[in-house]
Amino acid sequence: MPSPDALTPADIAASGLCIGCGGCATKGMAWDRYGQRKPSDATLADYRHDGPVPETDAPHALPSDQAATTFAATCPFSPTARNEDQLALARFPHAPHHDARLGRYEANYVGHAEQAPFRERGSSGGMVSWVAADLLASGKIDGVAHVIPATGDRLFHYRISRTEGEILEGARSRYYPVDLAEVLAEIRATPGRYAIVGIPCFIKAVSLLREQDPVLRERITHLLGLFCGHMKSAQFVDSFAWQLDVPRQDVRAVEYRRKDPDRPANWYTAHLTLSDGTARWQDWFHLADGDWGAGFFQNSACDACDDVVAECADVSFGDAWVEPYSSDGRGTNVVVVRSPEIAASIAAAIDNGRLDLKAVDADFIANTQAAGFRQRRDGLAYRLTWQKRRVTPVKRVAPRATGHPPRRRAIYRTRAAIAWWSHRMAWAANRLRWPALYTRWARASLYIYQALAYKRGRLGRWLARLDGVEG
């Protein structure tokens, strides 16, 4: 393992710990062979530079020894970077509540945006776009960095939006690799106050960067977090195209969660728009890789993450995956508020009817994400005992090999295997132009996983008789 003060992006990438956030990307990001965003070769070369990087090429760059030290302090998966507890304590020192699962907070809610058109345009209750638009309308920020649909070699990318209409263009869920490199460069170059919307590891990355970079510390004033199960690769879209029997090159847009108010919110529908204007769609539960928990196309760094709810964010949003909310096709959010400023804005909007939210406790929020917490706490403790990496992650969860029932251990092993092999099987299917190589493998893998996780099928019933333990 490299010494912590000499850690570089190449070390993190080689260890499978690079989430592709782009915080280190002095020279940009690039696609890897498995459809994930990684630091470009030029970025990696920057960290091997023997002397100062010319200021004209990278105005915020440092000599190589300083750059490596800074990187070790700002990469969200660096073993020497400050953890979520430390970052949240610095940001929210007076938060009245603390929970081991949610972190520090002011208040928790379940509900939706009553003010049109936020709920209608969002995947869930519309709260992410509502808070972003409210910050903009109140003059607290000048722009919001969030993910919107794109064209070219990327179906989605980060953009800074400066109007409510532009913010609404980024509504809906995006299970696709993106990076912050371009918007961070724009924020450094353009004075103003900005909010950034992101998943937990991206929010942590920005929090760490703010501690090291005075320009970002001044200009990035608000962080809006998204609850996260794991990151997918771009190959997930390839799989959609294969299973919907359309050429991947004809796909011009993708919706991962097509909304239908007349169906339960947790009945996801994958929807592809093609170059000729037609569309194809399919419910996730009919797809070979449509079980989210199985881990198809998961980024390997996600197996070393212990943050489900973006604990460093001023406010975090998730789906209310408990009844009666999960059956409401109009969509419902759970919200964890950490910033007193945003807490006051939300309370005022509840009073004047713009938001329909009900206060809930930490247990309610955690129950809506129960599977995620099992994977990132109990599962992480187990994975830390058997994963050998070039860089050893340091997490708030202690390694623990004992206390996991046999079938639960098998579930964690199977998820990790599915995540690892799905990238490689899809890559081989693309190279051989034989989609069935991947889809047949995926259906067989899903059968095994669901037998373990849910005791489905003949194999599941046989396994249930063997262990008698609920997973």
Q: Which two tokens stand for residue 18?
A: 């690079």
Find out whether 304 and 83 touch, Cβ atoms under 8 Å.
no
Confidence grade of residue 54 (pLDDT, cut at 50, 70, 90): very low
pLDDT by residue (tens digit) across 13-41? 999 999 999 999 999 999 999 999 999 99
For the stretch 67-95, pLDDT in tens is 667 899 999 999 999 999 999 999 999 99
Query: Quick check: 415 and 293 in contact, CB under 8 A?
Result: yes
Compute the distance between CA of residue 205 and CA of residue 179 in angstroms, rounded to an integer. Answer: 11
Give me the mean pLDDT over the 37-59 stretch.
68
Residue 282 backbone dihedrals phi, psi, to 5 degrees: -160, 140
- Taking CA atoms, 269 is separated from 126, 181, 263, 292, in Å, by 18, 30, 10, 13
Which of 158, 177, 128 lies closest to 313 in space, CA to CA? 128
Query: How far apart are alpha carbons 225 and 314 in whole angstroms?
Result: 8
Asked whether the beta carbons of 110 and 364 are under 8 A apart, the reply is yes
What's the CA gap between 46 and 41, in Å, rounded?
9
Token pair of 253, please?
């847009």
In the chain, domain spans: 9-74, 84-232+295-377, 399-467
Average confidence (pLDDT) over 321-328: 95
Q: What is the pLDDT of residue 5?
A: 60
pLDDT tens digits for 432-443? Answer: 999 999 999 999
Residue-wise pLDDT for 259-296, tens only, equals 899 999 989 999 999 999 999 999 999 999 999 999 99
Q: Where do the H-state alpha helices sit in 34-156?
A: 41-46, 64-74, 84-91, 118-121, 127-137
pTM attached to this predicted model: 0.94
